[in-house]
Structure 1
Amino acid sequence: MERGGDDLKLLGTWASPFVIRVKLALSFKGQSYENIEEEDLYNRKSELLLKSNPVHKKVPVLIHNGRPVCESQLIVQYIDESFNNTGHSLLPMDPYERATSRFWAAYIDDKLCHLSPHGILVYTLVFAFLNGVWSNLLIDASHMLQLFASVFQGGKAKSEEEKAKALKQTYTAVETLELAFREYSKGKPFFGGDSVGYLDIILGGMIPVVHYIEAHYGIKLFDSTRSPLLKSWMECFGTLDATKSVLPSVESLIEYSKMKQARAAASAATN
């Protein structure tokens, strides 16, 4: 749990892409930590979570020597700066390159993970996976923002036209990210070049969900036609020793989704 006098605790849920990001950063920085799993974020948040993140009440939260740090991107940056003597730097040293890395990290969250129309499809599918909700839901804004953390509310069924539009927009976002990877990797295997960098960590948290969406829904977000570089990146990233111990398998996600579905069905039957 402790390394070099540092006491690190991570509050999270193992299937969350945002929590996985933090675990990846800690792994690449060689940091040991105590993993504290939040069992039921929607109905029974822990007192430690409510105390550590009283504003948003969501995971991940990294507690470093008793002081909480919230929001996955900020946590990854904090880890990089706090443990700059271990491992290589995740963010570039050049101020301009650091700024552009943060720009593309925001793009990933906006277009693939969060609330823009581009991200709604992915979030809807992931919500169904995490919560066992298998009807086609259009999740409202508060629902999306609290996908892995807070109280959720249902919405109305999406039309086939809306779903097709969301899928097209998501693919467009992936193609834009493919061009960014081509520019920043400069023919190397990672966004960071020869070694894993900040953007690899940010997007790397999405890899288990990308595999799950493909296995469960037959939707390939990264493929050899639309995004061959990202597909190769994903395969390469998943083989690294620092990622193998962090990224959950698609089989474990499928089993988890079945469990959630069974619980949702049982709850519906008793109500």
Structure 2
Amino acid sequence: MTDSLSLLAPAKLNLFLHITGRRPDGYHNLQTLFQILDWGDTLTFTPNHSGEITLSGSTFDIAPENNLIHRSAALLQEGDLGVDVHVSKRIPQGGGLGGGSSNAATTLLALNQLWAREQSIEQLQQLGASLGADVPVFVAGHTAWAEGVGDILEAVQLPQSWYVVVAPDCHVSTAEIFSHQQLTRDTSPITIAAFFEGHSRNDCQDLVRNLYPEVDNALKILEKIGSARLTGTGACVFARFAEEAEAREALGRLPTGLNAFMATGVNRSPTFEGLVNN
């Protein structure tokens, strides 16, 4: 069986998020633009024939039935196939950066190769959709315009950008935000062209900053150095820069002790580079 495989499970940003309606099944229709980053968690997969799925590292003692890495592996497991997954975590939980979804997608992609399961990307996306709405975009592995519940994806080529991301010390519940009575749910759909013309926002931002003072404070700090926006339902906020030097300078101006980092936006997921090179 193939030796260990280490892959970057990248974070994402929602460059905007419009909620265009509520469906009869309780889910929301939305529009968003997923920007994949060159920064994230590192997952190391060591396959074996134990018939067991074991996790080590930064697993936060999450029960297997709730752990997206374990659940993803179980979807592809058959016979005596086993794996140990070591997790080196950087993406904060409840931050709106897609950490759990990215981990799930990376697990599907890695084990499809290591276990020779020979599933197509489309088949892996279908499996991923059963785990979470954001998993398919990470399986597809490209920056994408998304509609529906996030499942209708169109690949987009974005200009080179650098992002300064601030991670407030709080965990925002996506379920709480999407069920809140004050959430805006009737934004008119826009086109990709309208987004590039600057006609977009995050419909969750005002509500989240009202409910979470830590997010409000992070936005106020970041607004002093750039155009700040919430990603997803938060808690993380970001500012975009067209030049790397500008982003580095902005990062250096943030208060000492603030949990922040700089990342490059990429149109193709670095996960796939790791798969091709192994």
Q: Same fold (TM over 0.5)?
A: no
- Which structure: greater helix fraction? 1
TM-score of the two chains, using structure 1 as the length reference: 0.25
TM-score of the two chains, using structure 2 as the length reference: 0.24
